[in-house]
C-alpha cells in the first residue's frame, strides 16, 4: 500500500522494530464479520461459523446485503475489531444509554442487543444524510427503545444534563485504522490531521461529560493509531476531569495495552486497549473506559415526555392494537404530524431538538384510520401478532422487488398481516383473498 507522506516515518519512529510487520499487514486480506441479532430467530447456518472470541454476538464471515437474514435484521455486517467497542460498553437492561456519534449504526445496534428493548437508547448523528441511514439500520434491526437525534453534542448537553448511565463516544478521527479497508481514507490524511481531530474530540468529550450522571461510565473509541487522538486525549480527559477514573478492560489474545510514553507517562493509560491489524484479525482501534465518581452534587429535576394524542387518535391506536397485537406495548404515545411513535418512558421533554426517529414508528394516521408501519412489523415477533403470513424464499424475492405476491390459497379474513420470512418480521401488508399487496418501502426495494 502507498502511505500518505509523513505516515510511514511517524510509525517507524513510534513502533521501532515492530514497524515492518505493521506496514506489511496493510497488504493482507481484510477480515469480514457480522453480528447475530439476539432479538430475532437465527438459522443454524449463521451460528456455525467461527465465533469472534471477544464479542457476545459476533462471527467471522460475509453476509450479503440482499440476503433474507440481512433484510429482516437477523444479522448486522460489522468489521470484527469494531465489535469490541460496544462489547466494552456492555450496557445493562433498563439503563439510559447515549451513542453520541452513531452512524451508520453498528455500535448502536450492538448496544441495543444488550439492552433487549429495555431502558432508553439515544443515538445521535450530526449529519442529516448519515442520520437517515442510521434510522434505516435501527429499524431493520427491530430496535424499539431508540430515539435518533440529529444534533450537535452541545445542544444535546443542554437537554440531557447528568442524565445518562452510559455514554459511548466513537469519535470522528483520522481513520488510520481503516486504511486497509477504505483506501480513500489515505487521501485526506496529512501530518497535522490527527492533531486537528484531537481538538474536535476534546470538544465532543467536554459536552459528553455534561450528560454523564454521577457513577456513570464513558466509553471512548477511535479507529486510528494516532497517540494524539488516543493516549493523549485520555490523558487530557483525566487531567480536566479529576472525577473520572480509568477502568481496566479485559484484553484478549492479540490485544495491546495503551502506551503511557505516547502521552504524559501516566501508567494508568495501560488500562486502555489497542487493536493492531498485525496482531488481530481486524482493523485498527483504540478503546478506553472511564467512570465518573459519585459526588454530592444533586441532579436537576427532569420532566418526562407526555403524550400529545387526541382522544380520537388514542382510540384509533387502541383499535389497531386490539386487532393486530397479542399484548400492549409500553411507552409514551406521541405524534409528529400524521406519524405515530412509541417513545421510551424514560425520554425527557425536549425543546426544539432535531429528531430523526422518536422511538418506534407505530403507524400513519389516515382518514379515520391508522395504518400500521413497516418498522412495527419488523420489530414484533410472530408471537406478538394475531395475524401473520409466512412467505417462501421465492415469494420474499418477489415482495422485496416491489411486486404483489399471489398466494396458493385465499385468506378468509382480509386485512393487515405481519409478513414473515424464516420466522422474522418484514413489516405489515394488506392481504385481500389471495393477493398480498406490496407495502415494502420503496427506498429499500431490491430490483
Query: Can you say which residues are annotated as belonging to the binding site for S-adenosyl-L-methionine?
Result: 101-107, 125, 170
Q: Residue 207 in contact with residue 154, Cβ under 8 Å? A: yes
Q: Are 103 and 125 in contact (CB under 8 A)?
A: yes
Nearest-angstrom CA–CA distance, 389 and 416: 10
* Residue of 146, 197, 223, 272 marked active site: 223
Of 303, 326, 311, 430, residue with least CA distance to 371: 430
Our answer to whether residue 272 is catalytic in this structure is: no
* Phi-psi region at 90: left, alpha or beta (left = phi > 0; alpha = psi -120 to 50): left
Residue that has been written with the C-alpha cell 415494502 in this structure: 440
Q: Count other Cβ atoms within 10 Å, centred on residue 158.
A: 15
Please check whether residue 272 is in contact with residue 230, taking contact to mean a CB–CB distance below 8 angstroms: yes
Cα 198 → chain centroid: 23
Could you give the CA distance from residue 122 to residue 100 in angstroms, rounded to a whole number? 8
Annotated binding-site ranges = 101-107, 125, 170
**Distance from CA of residue 2 to its chain's centroid?**
32
DSSP state string for 117-140: T-SEEEEE-SSHHHHHHHHHHHHH
Q: Using an 8 Å Cβ cutoff, are 160 and 124 in contact?
A: no
DSSP strand pairing (369-372 vs 355-358) = unpaired
Asked if 179 contacts 187 with a C-beta cutoff of 8 angstroms, the reply is no
Q: What nine digits make up the cell of 269? A: 493509560
CA geometry: angle 87, 92, 96, nearest 5 deg = 105
Active-site residues, by number, are 223
Amino acid at each position: 500500500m502507498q502511505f500518505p507522506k509523513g505516515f510511514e516515518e511517524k510509525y517507524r519512529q513510534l513502533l521501532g522494530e515492530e514497524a515492518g510487520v505493521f506496514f506489511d499487514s496493510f497488504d493482507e486480506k481484510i477480515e469480514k464479520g457480522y453480528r447475530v441479532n439476539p432479538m430475532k430467530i437465527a438459522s443454524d447456518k449463521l451460528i456455525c461459523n467461527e465465533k469472534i472470541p471477544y464479542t457476545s454476538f459476533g462471527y467471522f464471515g460475509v453476509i450479503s446485503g440482499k440476503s433474507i437474514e440481512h433484510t429482516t435484521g437477523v444479522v448486522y455486517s460489522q468489521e470484527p475489531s469494531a465489535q469490541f467497542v460496544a462489547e466494552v460498553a456492555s450496557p445493562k437492561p433498563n439503563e439510559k444509554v447515549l451513542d453520541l456519534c452513531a452512524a451508520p449504526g453498528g455500535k448502536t445496534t450492538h448496544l441495543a442487543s444488550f439492552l433487549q428493548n429495555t431502558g432508553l437508547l439515544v443515538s445521535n448523528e450530526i449529519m442529516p444524510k448519515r442520520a437517515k441511514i442510521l434510522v434505516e439500520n435501527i429499524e431493520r434491526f427491530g430496535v424499539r427503545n431508540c430515539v435518533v437525534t440529529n444534533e450537535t453534542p452541545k445542544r444535546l448537553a443542554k437537554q440531557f444534563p447528568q442524565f445518562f448511565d452510559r455514554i459511548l463516544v466513537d469519535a470522528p478521527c483520522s481513520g488510520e485504522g481503516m486504511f486497509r479497508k477504505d483506501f480513500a481514507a489515505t487521501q485526506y490524511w496529512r501530518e497535522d490531521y490527527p492533531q486537528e481531530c484531537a481538538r474536535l474530540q476534546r470538544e465532543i468529550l467536554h459536552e459528553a461529560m455534561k450528560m454523564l450522571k454521577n457513577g456513570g461510565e464513558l466509553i471512548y473509541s477511535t479507529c486510528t493509531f494516532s497517540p494524539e487522538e488516543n493516549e493523549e486525549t485520555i490523558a487530557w480527559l483525566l487531567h480536566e476531569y479529576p472525577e473520572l477514573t480509568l477502568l481496566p478492560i479485559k484484553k484478549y489474545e492479540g490485544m495491546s495495552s495503551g502506551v503511557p510514553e505516547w502521552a504524559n507517562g501516566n501508567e494508568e493509560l495501560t488500562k486502555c486497549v489497542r487493536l493492531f491489524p498485525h496482531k488481530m484479525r481486524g482493523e485498527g482501534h483504540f478503546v478506553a473506559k472511564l467512570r465518573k465518581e459519585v459526588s454530592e452534587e444533586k441532579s436537576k429535576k427532569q420532566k418526562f415526555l407526555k403524550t400529545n394524542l387526541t382522544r380520537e387518535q388514542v382510540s384509533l391506536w387502541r383499535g389497531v392494537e386490539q386487532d393486530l397485537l397479542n399484548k400492549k406495548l409500553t411507552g409514551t404515545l406521541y405524534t409528529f404530524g400524521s406519524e405515530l411513535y412509541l417513545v421510551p418512558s424514560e425520554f425527557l421533554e425536549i425543546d426544539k431538538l432535531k429528531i430523526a426517529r422518536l422511538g418506534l414508528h407505530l403507524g400513519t394516521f389516515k382518514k379515520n384510520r391508522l395504518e400500521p408501519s413497516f418498522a412495527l412489523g419488523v420489530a414484533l415477533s410472530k408471537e406478538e401478532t394475531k395475524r401473520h403470513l409466512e412467505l417462501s424464499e421465492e415469494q420474499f424475492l418477489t415482495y422485496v422487488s416491489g411486486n404483489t405476491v399471489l398466494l396458493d390459497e385465499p385468506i378468509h379474513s382480509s386485512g393487515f398481516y405481519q409478513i414473515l420470512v424464516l420466522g422474522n418480521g418484514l413489516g405489515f401488508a394488506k392481504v385481500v383473498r389471495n393477493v398480498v399487496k406490496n407495502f415494502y418501502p420503496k427506498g429499500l426495494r431490491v430490483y
